[in-house]
Structure 1
């Protein structure tokens, strides 16, 4: 059954990502058509076509490599000089624009070829439906529609989890008298990354006092305990003094006597500075924070900060994955993963016996939400061929034309995005290289929910 659950987890994740990709492309296609644009293709995936069907002027289909998708909006690039005034007819006698001229220079030729591909079968009837002729704000809506859908998917998934299961990354002690979740059997120095006791480890004060998981702490050295923060302060301030602990177990009031020990421990969950404080060896039961739309937006704001940082350091972290592939270093647990790595994590989550069923569903939903949030944010980067590159071009067009009007100068016309194609090719090559490294890394040195 473990294998079955693993496969189901992988399939569920892949299907969720493919649905997200499809919705992303709908985010482009629907406003493009609403604004009168002509959309000739809507495909999920790349490579050879697996299935397609034409509805009206649009061909819908699925391709073999499920690593993205696209919609073909006619007229993304304005015509160059070689396109203007050059008209011919196809075998059916229909008037079409065709390109026959060529240019010298590598980048010039690349731009020319791109225009040729864009304009080869654009007919005069398409003149008023070309994307580049749309007002700048319509271009922004069309191009922002895709990544905005991903952000919206992430929001609703996060909200669904936070509003029901709770946020596993926002956990705190339960209110009221602290109920013990665990009791350390020995004292392990904070600097040592282990949880198992050895023969040389001294017995913990909590174990010496006879405390067990599930006990409710009621007093500490005669002071009534009302909450975990209060108890934590009493323990830390007690240094190596005697500790008389009152607790409740199965409805009975009991007490135990021990002496806390002085240990180097982190100052708090957010401040990992080690300080010498009193140590008992207990942890309280915790609860996950829950919330609605406003809480979700606040949490997504924090996620956005982390995502921006991840995007800034993405090349260096991918480089680290490459070094891990070659065996030069261990893979960083915080390194990025591809859809292959996401599928593996989903499979492990679904098949493990270490995670409760409700937690598995929450984790899988959060995994899909996280991928959607990252995809949305990544696509807003203002570089072609990403959606953000087209948005930046449209905004620059608005600024340039607005400035010309204010200064009483002639309209400079549409921004020629084709001139930025050399940048697009470099960015696309870098994206492809990073994708290959991450996919290979997820196969050779995969991350795991059990630790790397």
Structure 2
């Protein structure tokens, strides 16, 4: 229990650090370009403490659910003092404003990369090949041996334990882990699927030729025929010997140099998965509502910070630190991508407005017209409010679901 609480606290702390660095990204780039940063605070609500360094006030507030970086004149509608006006953000070049507004998401991406790199050289990175494992292409190499027993119900089919007295034909015939099966009864075995088909059609003493190290070994395995429930829910009698395939390792480990390209490749896959989940997000919302009222919770469905922290706590409790850090990296990538969506009040929405102004003025210039004025954000306030309400509602739903029907580690 104590380990679980520690995991929750550590994960929440990791999120707080991520948010703090997100806002620091905005602040550092803004200062670098000469914009005036009035305040940099972590959290919301009443102030715990603050201090001033130069022209910027730094501090922390009691509610650690975010933070803010107050840059003077983010839009032309923002009030600025006379001394702030020349350094108002909206006066700077489009590319500089874009860098500042995207710096928060870039910070999340960097954090995710750092976490994954550290995982690569310690715990290892999940093997992406397992996501699309094709047994038609998998070599017929024995990964392990077990028993062979009849299974005519789903319960028996799911039971991977060996009942007392169960047959172990592979062991009895001399098959060992690491053996590559070359042929069965003289018929070549080129894949694991092909090997399975040949075993299922065999009956009685059967000749197996295997590659064991540098030698070819001929074995005789007595193949029993047992009743088995198939994918079509029909019971048929097939040959079974009790072997499992040698699959690629679940985690791949790298040295410090190898970890660099491996981290970028893995990150690219995570970005692709994040994009897919964002597209699928609307269709998963009904599942969240159903889960709140007792429905089955989709283990791959959306989770809030509360849910992610709970999973992080369970991971620490079970000693699965690789899941803890993988979840932390995933959350950083998700927040970074989500924040760049071209919707106000997200940073991506502000970037979209900035580039709209740039393209609009370029087109006006082609027609011999003067540049247009800054976009009037008040005209976008209704759309912004709708998006805020929708976002708040979805956040409330996911938090509720994570409290009453949380996703748990299996």
TM range (shorter): 0.7 to 0.9
Note if contact 2:141-2:181 (Cα within 8 Å) is conserved in structure 1: no
- Structure 1, residues 258-303: CA drift from partner, whole Å, max 9, x if none? 327696878xxxxxxxxx9976542436423455333333333332
Deviations 1:341-384 (A, max 9, x none): 111111111112xxxx5xx2322111110000000010010001
Q: 2:223 aligns with which of 259, 279, 282?
A: 259
Cα offsets for 1:3-44 (capped at 9, x unmatched) = 222122112211111111111111111111112212112122
Counterpart pick for 1:302 among 269, 280, 286? 269
Any residues of structure 2 matched to 1:100-111 within 5 Å, and which?
A: none
Deviates more, 1:142-151 or 1:293-302: 293-302
* 2:115 equivalent to 1:157: yes
In structure 1, what is the Cα distance between the partners aligned to 2:358 and 2:49? 40
Alignment of 1:76-225 (within 5 A): 76-79=74-77, 118-119=78-79, 122-170=80-128, 178=141, 180-181=143-144, 183=146, 185-186=148-149, 188=151, 195-196=158-159, 207-210=168-171, 215-217=177-179, 219=181
Give the superposition deviation at 1:164.
Answer: 4.4
The CA deviation string for residues 63-97 of structure 1, in whole angstroms up to 9 with x for no partner, is: 23322221111112313xxxxxxxxxxxxxxxxxx
Residue 199 of structure 1 and its aligned partner are, at CA, apart by 11
Aligned with 2:285 (options 318, 325, 338): 318
TM-score by length of 2: 0.81
Question: Residue 68 of structure 1: SS of its match in structure 2?
Answer: strand
The CA distance in 2 between the partners of 1:155 and 1:292, in whole Å, is: 11
- Who is 2:234 aligned against? none
For residue 236 of structure 1, report the CA deviation from its aligned partner: 2.4
**In structure 2, do the counterparts of structure 1 residues 164 and 179 end up closer, same or farther at CA, with 3 Å as the change threshold?**
farther
The aligned residue for residue 334 of structure 1 is 300
Cα separation, 2, equivalents of 1:11 and 1:21? 15
Q: Give a deviation string over 1:106-143, Cα, whole Å, max 9, x none.
A: xxxxxxxxxxxx42xx3111111111222111110110
Q: How far is the alpha carbon of 1:220 from its aligned partner?
A: 6.0
Aligned position for 1:111: none
Residue aligning to 1:53: 51
What secondary structure does 2:14 align onto? helix
Match of 2:343 in 1: 383
CA gap 1:434/1:294 in 2 versus in 1, 3 angstroms: same
Helix, strand or coil: the match of 1:308?
Answer: helix
What is the CA deviation profile of residues 199-221 of structure 1, one whole-angstrom value per residue up to 9, with x for unaligned ones? 99x967xx333379973435465
- Name the counterpart of 1:90: none
User: Aligned-pair distance for 1:231?
Assistant: 4.8
